[in-house]
Structure 1
Amino acid sequence: MTRSRTYHSPAREEAARQTRRRIVAAARELFESQGYAGTTIDAVAARAGVGRRTVFLSVGSKAELLKLAWDWAVVGDDEPVPMVERPHIVAMQQVTDPEVLVRHWVGQIMTVGARVAALAGVLARAQDVDAEAAALQERIDVERRTGVGMFVRHLESVGGLRPGLTVPDAVDMCWILMNPLLQQRLLVERGWTSADLEDWLLRLVRASLLG
């Protein structure tokens, strides 16, 4: 009996990955400039320099394009490494000084917020007219609470949570503070600098959480 062989071509895989990157980058540019409703698969294909079929084969539907653009923006690249396994997150889990831990967390939400702010606006408008976009927003909210929960529980474990403050309440506070749309209103509408925003968030988180 002849055994079938799995053909593996690193060059072909890398080419497919580069194509996927172009498609997702094109989709993100169009989402941010044209909005979710105004972006079509044909427009994404044209901007990426591929055929319509390639968009579907490489990524999928318009909602899947938005999901992947969001996921890559959150972590900062397309490497298949979950956020919880990223070096900076792993390093945060080793911190035992509450002040240092809070500074790390605020720095992290500033970094991620800057990357996802424009897409957050796209998604906020899309969820009212598209069920898949609404489902994506729900998933993002759950993921944010999960990430905040890890931070707050770690802060509690090192004795950093102030007396009388429950973990659920602390999670709620941090969850709303990490909303990139709220941050953008201060940056864009009120003219705050990133340094202003980070300093205010740091002072607010310290006052709200630390014992």
Structure 2
Amino acid sequence: MAVNRPYVSPRRQEQARVTRRLILGAAAKLFVDPGYAATPLTAVAAEAGVAVQTVYAVFGSKRQLLSDLVDVTLAGDDEQVAMADRSFVADIRALTGLRAKLSRFARHLAAIHARQAQVMLALAGAATADADAAAIWRKNIEERRRGMVMFAADLAATGEVRVSAERAADVLWLAQDVRNYDWLVRERGWPVERFERWFVDSVAAVLGAPD
């Protein structure tokens, strides 16, 4: 028996993706300056060149818009691919040495921070006074910690890690915090390559020392 399937227009899908990107771009600008709390969705809509009803139709709420913005700037795209399934993870797992794995992660980390630093710092600031922003900030912290637990396990497989799994995850979690990038690269003017070397040298020195 034939089943009638709804027709999905590729053109309409592409228009929806473009609209979503426009709104996210507007939010990325305005949530940084003048800030999340000071930016109503009407302002986001005006910046994106769409009706405010469109913003609600796409994201549902201001909180969801902020949450999606954080996710997209972290991933670098709007594809539904988990971080654990991204190509950089496979690259790291294919390497065998501690410093080689850390170096590959450092390149990935620097790329993330370059596009995400302003949004994440704005989120951290908003989290001090806004409950929705605080919940998203806490979620991001917890997700990063879980990611570093998995990374620590991968590093331990090299046989070069001399600290406990919990300490290794804590060190990785602290070293990859966006505020380190902000201070060293954006404030102090370090070249990205120096930041990457700092990350590798600092983490390797701690993980290779006994508890």
TM-score by length of 2: 0.92
Deviations 1:43-63 (A, max 9, x none): 110111110100011112222
CA distance in 2, matches of 1:103, 1:188: 20
More displaced, 115-124 or 179-188? Answer: 179-188
For residues 112-191 of structure 1, what are the structure 2 equivalents within 5 Å? 112-162=112-162, 165-191=163-189
Deviations 1:85-135 (A, max 9, x none): 111112212222222111112222222122211011111111122111111
Equivalent pair of 1:98/1:210 in contact (CA under 8 Å): no
Paired residue type of 2:187:
E
CA distance in 2, matches of 1:14, 1:136: 28
Equivalent pair of 1:148/1:171 in contact (CA under 8 Å): yes
SS at match of 1:142: helix
**Structure 1 residues not aligned, in runs of 5+:** none
Q: C-alpha displacement at 1:31, in angstroms?
A: 1.1
Q: C-alpha displacement at 1:3, in angstroms?
A: 6.6
For residues 192-203 of structure 1, what are the structure 2 equivalents within 5 Å? 192-203=190-201
CA distance in 2, matches of 1:202, 1:5: 52
- 1:193/1:91 Cα in 2 relative to 1: closer, same or farther (>3 Å)? closer
More displaced, 43-52 or 4-13? Answer: 4-13
Equivalent pair of 1:114/1:180 in contact (CA under 8 Å): no
SS at match of 2:125: helix
More displaced, 138-147 or 6-15? Answer: 6-15
More displaced, 194-203 or 72-81? Answer: 194-203
Equivalent pair of 2:31/2:39 in contact (CA under 8 Å): yes
Kindly tell me the number of residue pairs found equivalent between the two proteins.
Answer: 209
**Structure 2 residues not aligned, in runs of 5+:** none
Aligned residue in 1 for 2:85: 85
SS at match of 2:145: helix
CA distance in 1, matches of 2:195, 2:164: 26
Q: C-alpha displacement at 1:210, in angstroms?
A: 3.1
Deviations 1:27-86 (A, max 9, x none): 111112211112110111011111010001111222211111111111111111111111
Aligned residue in 1 for 2:208: 210
Q: C-alpha displacement at 1:16, in angstroms?
A: 0.8
CA distance in 2, matches of 1:16, 1:183: 34
SS at match of 1:158: coil
Q: C-alpha displacement at 1:156, in angstroms?
A: 0.6
CA distance in 1, matches of 2:18, 2:77: 12
Paired residue type of 1:41:
L
Residue 61 of structure 1 pairs with residue 79 of structure 2: no
Deviations 1:141-186 (A, max 9, x none): 1110111111110111221212xx1010111111111111232012
Superposition RMSD in Å: 1.8
CA distance in 2, matches of 1:133, 1:207: 35
